[in-house]
């Protein structure tokens, strides 16, 4: 994998490649790269003979700061910090279609936690508008419903 990153860096100049994450089945690789000046998530098939750089990022989401595959490989969760700001958001991207879903659309900010082993829920810390207190939530990726793991002001944005 480091050979792949070195080849890309040599072709494009100083580009940051971070957070390489192989898919659970080992067939694909997701990573963050600032190829166009803003960190975006990228996805490529892992061909033992040669990894081919994709022509475009996984989605139009920019300023990606973290990513995590669901255990079943159905989704990639992305944490984004729009324009490099402090307030992050969490989105799901379907690696097959590029469909994007915001996991906390009513929140002032959200941070990515960990996936449950089933791949059906992902942990997200949600920060409601006007409150500095974050609340831990488990978001069901099938229907967007959530379970608040702690009571407090975030309960209104975690559901």
50 pLDDT band, cuts 50/70/90, is: confident
C-alpha 125/C-alpha 147 separation (Å) is: 11
pLDDT of residue 55: 87
**Residue 158: pLDDT over 90:** no
pLDDT of residue 65: 96
**Residue 2: pLDDT over 70:** no
Number of residues that make up the chain: 159
C-alpha 103/C-alpha 7 separation (Å) is: 35
* Phi, psi of 83, deg, nearest 5: 55, 25
Per CATH, the homologous superfamily of domain 2-156 is Dipeptidylpeptidase IV, N-terminal domain (2.140.10.30)
Instruction: Residue 74: name the closest of 28, 40, 125, 20 by CA.
Output: 28
pLDDT in tens, 72-88: 999 999 999 998 888 99
pLDDT in tens, 132-149: 788 899 999 999 888 888
pLDDT in tens, 85-116: 889 999 999 999 999 999 999 899 999 999 99
**Residue 66: pLDDT over 70:** yes
C-alpha 110/C-alpha 19 separation (Å) is: 19
pLDDT in tens, 21-39: 999 999 999 999 998 889 9
Q: Supply the DSSP symbol for 145.
A: -
8 pLDDT band, cuts 50/70/90, is: low
Average pLDDT, the chain: 86
């Amino acid at each position: 994998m480091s050979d792949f990153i070195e080849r890309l860096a040599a072709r494009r100049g100083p580009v940051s490649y971070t957070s390489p994450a192989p898919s659970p089945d080992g067939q694909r690789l997701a990573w963050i790269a600032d190829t166009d000046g803003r960190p975006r998530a990228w996805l490529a098939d892992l061909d033992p003979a040669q990894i081919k750089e994709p022509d475009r990022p996984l989605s139009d989401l920019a300023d990606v700061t973290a990513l995590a595959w669901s255990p079943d490989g159905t989704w990639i969760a992305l944490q984004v910090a729009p324009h490099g700001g402090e307030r992050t958001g969490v989105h799901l991207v379907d690696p097959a279609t590029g469909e994007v879903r915001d996991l906390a659309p009513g929140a002032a900010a959200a941070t990515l936690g960990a996936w449950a082993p089933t791949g059906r829920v992902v942990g997200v810390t949600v920060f409601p508008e006007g409150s500095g207190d974050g609340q831990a939530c488990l978001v069901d990726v099938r229907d967007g419903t959530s379970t608040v793991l702690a009571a407090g002001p975030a309960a209104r944005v975690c559901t």
